[in-house]
Chains A and B, each alone.
Chain A
Amino acid sequence: MANMAVSRIKREFKEVMRSEEIVQCSIKIELINDSWTELRGEIAGPPDTPYEGGKFVLEIKVPETYPFNPPKVRFITKIWHPNISSVTGAICLDILKDNWAAAMTLRTVLLSLQALLAAAEPDDPQDAVVAYQYKDKYQLFLMTAKHWTNIYAGGPHKFTECDSKIQRLKDMGIDEHDARAVLSKENWDLEKATENLFS
C-alpha cells in the first residue's frame, strides 16, 4: 500500500471519528485490517425516506492509487434503491466514478451516499427493475423499500402482507431472500412471481 494512501486514510479515519455526524450516530467507520486497505462504513437511513430507522453497512476498499482514484464502495446490507443493485450492492454514483476528486474524503463519500438515499436518480439507474418500479408504481416502491429496510437494516415498518406472500413461496421450497427478491421485482404479484420462479 502506497504511503500516501495510508496516511490519507489514517487521517480521514480520524476525521470521521471526530466529526459531528458521528456524534449524531449518522455515520460510522471501522477498520477491517491493519493494512488500511479495507474499511467498513455505516450510514443511517435519512429521515423522511423509506430508509429511515435503518442502518446500512458498506464495504470500502481503498485502491493502491488512493486518493487519485476513488475508493471502491458497495452496500453489504441489502437495499431496494434505483441507484443500488438489489443483487450485488453495487452503487451508481458519479463521485465514485468519473467525478471523483483527489481532495474528496471518506466522510464526503459517506455523506454523499446518505444524500443518495434521500434523493434517488431513477434516470441513471443501477438496478433497472427498481428504477422502473420507482417511476411507474411509486407507492409499491415505497412499500418495498421500507420492507427491505425492516428486514435487512432494522427499520421499523413491518408489512404482514409481504411476509405472508413470502411465506407462501417458502412453503414451496424457495429460499426466503430469493422469494422476497422475486416478489419485489414482480410488484408483489404472487402469481407472476411463481410463474417467474418455476418457468
Chain B
Amino acid sequence: MSADSDMEYSDNDCEYDDYYNSGEDCDVERLDPKKTDPEYFEFVCLTVEEVEKLLNESVEKLNTILEITPSLAKVLLLEHQWDNQVVVDKYRKDANALLITARIKPPNPLLSIPDPLAPSTSKDAVVFGTSSSVSRSSSCSNDDSPRNALISLGICNTYNTVAPGGGIISQRCQMCPVCASSQMGDKFFSLSCGHAFCKDCWSTFFDTQIFQGISTQIGCMAPMCNVRVPEDLVLTLVTRPVMRDKYQQFAFKDYVKSHPQLRFCPGPNCQIIVRSPEVCAKRVICTSCHTSFCFKCGMDYHAPTDCVVIKKWLTKCADDSETANYISANTKDCPKCHICIEKNGGCNHMLCFNCKHDFCWMCLGDWKTHGSEYYECSRYKDNPNIANESVHVQAREALKKYLHYYERWENHSKSLQLEQQTIDRLRDRINEKVMKGRGTWIDWQYLFNAAALLAKCRYTLQYTYPYAYFMESGSRKDLFEYQQAQLEAEIENLSWKIERAETTDLGDLENQMDIAEKRRTTLLKDFFPVDF
C-alpha cells in the first residue's frame, strides 16, 4: 500500500517537473521563446564521460597549436577558464609571463633560497630545466620535435630528473632536504624551479595532499616556492590505484569548476554536469535527478532575485534565525471571534470555521481589503521620519522591516509545503469521485495541472520578498510592489479555488490559472534581468 502511494507520488513529481520544463503546453502559439519567456534557458545535461571528452578536446587543440604536453595544457586552460584563444594569444605575446602567472615557472629562477636543512646541496649536481636535462616523461621524450621555443624557456619538461644525462652526476650522492637522507642523484626530481627532492618524499607528499582533497593546486615542497606540480609528475610518482583515482577525481572537479559553461548538478549523489553557453541566473532542471537550481550560483532557483542578493538574504536569515523563530507558529486566533485556527493548507485567505469571517493569515486584516485593486498586505510601509529617530528606534524599525519580509518569505515557503498536502488530499477526493462513477481520472487531471502551476507561481512569489527587501525605495520599488501584490492576490485566488475544487468549474479555474501565470511572467519580464 505504502509502496503504491510512493509510486504515485513520484509519478506526480515528474508531471510537476514536466510542467516546469516545457512552457510550450501553456501557450500554443509561441514564436521565439527566447523573447517571450523570461525564464527560457538552453542547457544540456552531460555525463562525466561526456565532459571528460569535451575537456580533452580542448586540451588536444591546445597541444596541437602550441606543441606542449597535455599536462601543461591542462594547467594553462584551468588558469584561463578553458579559453583556448586567450591562452594562445597570451602565449604568443609573452610566453614567459604566461608560464610565470600560471605557476609553471618560478618568477625569478636565479633567486635560490638557502635551505637550512641541506646547506650542502651541491649546485653542480643538479641541472635544472635546461635543454640538456633528461626527462622521464614519455610524452616529452622526443626533444627533436619543434618544441624549441619551450626548450629555450627551460620548461620543455614540466619536471626534471636530476641526472643531466652524463651519468657521472647521477652516481653522486645527494641529500634530500625533506627526509634528510642521502641518495643517488637519479632518485631526485625537480620542477622548473630547480628544488630537488627524492622520489619517495614527492610521492608521500602527493599522497598527503590528495588525501586532503588537493590536486591541481599541489605546489613545490620548498619554502616560499609556489611552482605548481603538473599532473604528469603526480601520476608518474603516485602508484597506488586508489590515490591515482582520487587525484583524477579531484582534478576533474577543479577543471569543471574552472569552466564557465559547466556546473555540477547539486542534487544528492547526482553525477550530472550541466552545460550552457550562457552564464546566467536561469533555472536548470537536471534531467537525471530532477533537482532544479540556478545555473549561475548553483543554489535553489531564485528569480526575480539575483544571485548576490539571494546570498545576502539567506545569510541574513541564517544570522537572524533566532529572532525570526517565533514566527513559525501554525496557529493564529481569528481576529473577530478569537477562536484558535490552524492553517492546514497553503492558501492565505482564511475562512473562520466558527464565525465565517474572511481574513488574511499574514496580516490578520479583513480579506475584503485584499482584492487586486487594494492589496496593501505585501508592502512594507517605511517610516518616513526614520532618519530623525534615535538609534534604538531605528534598530527596532530595521528589525520590524526585516521581519515583515521574512515572515512573508517563510510563509510562502510553508504554503508550498502545505499545498503538497493539499494535492495529496485532492488525490483522495478524486479517487472517491472516480469510484462513485463521477468522471474519470482524466476528467480531473486539470486539477493537478492547476496545483503545479500554483506551486510555480508561489515559488516565484516567495523569491520576490528578498528582492523587495533589498530594493531602494522609489518609483521602481512602487511598481515592483504593485506587481507583487497583484501576483499575490491572484495566487491566493487560485489556491482558494483549488482547495474548493468541487464547487469551482473547469473554465473558472483555467481562467484563474491563466491570470496568475500572466502576472508571474509580467513581473519576471520587468524585473528579472536576462543578462547580469
Minimal Cβ-Cβ distance residue in A for B207: A68
A68 to B208, CA, bound (A): 7
> B115 in the interface, Cβ–Cβ < 8 Å?
yes
A108 to B117, CA, bound (A): 10
CB contacts under 8 Å to B, within A93-118, are 95, 101-105, 107-108
Check if A4 sits within 8 Å of B179, measured CB to CB. yes
Check if B116 sits within 8 Å of A108, measured CB to CB. yes
Contacts of B178 in A (CB 8 A): 8, 67, 102-103
Contacts of B204 in A (CB 8 A): 4, 68
Contacts of A69 in B (CB 8 A): 208
Check if A102 sits within 8 Å of B205, measured CB to CB. yes
A67 to B117, CA, bound (A): 12
CB contacts under 8 Å to B, within A134-156, are none
A11 touches which of B180, B205, B222, B223 (Cβ 8 Å): B180
Minimal Cβ-Cβ distance residue in B for A12: B117
Check if A15 sits within 8 Å of B223, measured CB to CB. no
Given known A-B contacts A4-B179, A15-B117, A67-B178, A104 and B208 have beta carbons under 8 A apart: no
Check if B221 sits within 8 Å of A102, measured CB to CB. yes
Given known A-B contacts A4-B204, A65-B208, A68-B205, A103 and B180 have beta carbons under 8 A apart: no
What 0/1 readout, one digit per residue, does chain A (1-33) give for beta carbons within 8 Å of chain B?
000100110011001000000000000000000
> B230 in the interface, Cβ–Cβ < 8 Å?
no
> B224 in the interface, Cβ–Cβ < 8 Å?
yes
Chain B interface, >50% SS class: loop
In the assembled complex, the CB of B220 is this many whole angstroms from the nearest CB of chain A, namely 8
A103 touches which of B181, B195, B208, B209 (Cβ 8 Å): B195
Contacts of A11 in B (CB 8 A): 117, 180
CB contacts under 8 Å to A, within B193-216, are 195, 197, 201, 204-205, 208-209
Contacts of A15 in B (CB 8 A): 116-117
A95 to B223, CA, bound (A): 9
In the assembled complex, the CB of B117 is this many whole angstroms from the nearest CB of chain A, namely 6
In the assembled complex, the CB of B213 is this many whole angstroms from the nearest CB of chain A, namely 13
In the assembled complex, the CB of B179 is this many whole angstroms from the nearest CB of chain A, namely 5
Check if A103 sits within 8 Å of B179, measured CB to CB. no
A198 to B399, CA, bound (A): 28
Check if B180 sits within 8 Å of A8, measured CB to CB. yes
Q: Count of chain B residues with Cβ under 8 Å from any Cβ of A?
A: 21
Check if B205 sits within 8 Å of A103, measured CB to CB. no
In the assembled complex, the CB of B301 is this many whole angstroms from the nearest CB of chain A, namely 34
B179 touches which of A8, A12, A104 (Cβ 8 Å): A8
A65, A67, A69 interface centre (most CB from chain B within 10 Å): A67
A8 to B221, CA, bound (A): 15
Check if B201 sits within 8 Å of A105, measured CB to CB. no
Contacts of A68 in B (CB 8 A): 204-205, 208-209
A101 to B225, CA, bound (A): 8
A12 to B117, CA, bound (A): 8
Contacts of B180 in A (CB 8 A): 7-8, 11
A67 to B115, CA, bound (A): 15
Check if B205 sits within 8 Å of A104, measured CB to CB. no
Contacts of B221 in A (CB 8 A): 101-103
Contacts of A67 in B (CB 8 A): 178
Can you give 30 A-B contacts (C-beta < 8 A)? A7-B179, A7-B180, A7-B181, A8-B178, A8-B180, A11-B117, A12-B117, A15-B116, A67-B178, A68-B204, A68-B208, A68-B209, A69-B208, A95-B223, A101-B220, A101-B221, A101-B223, A101-B225, A102-B178, A102-B205, A102-B221, A103-B115, A103-B117, A103-B195, A103-B222, A104-B223, A105-B116, A105-B117, A108-B116, A108-B223
Give the 7 A-B residue pairs with the shortest CB-CB distance, closest first: A102-B221, A68-B208, A101-B223, A103-B177, A102-B178, A11-B180, A68-B205
Other than A8-B179, A68-B204, give 5 A-B pairs with Cβ distance below 8 A: A7-B180, A7-B181, A8-B180, A102-B178, A103-B221
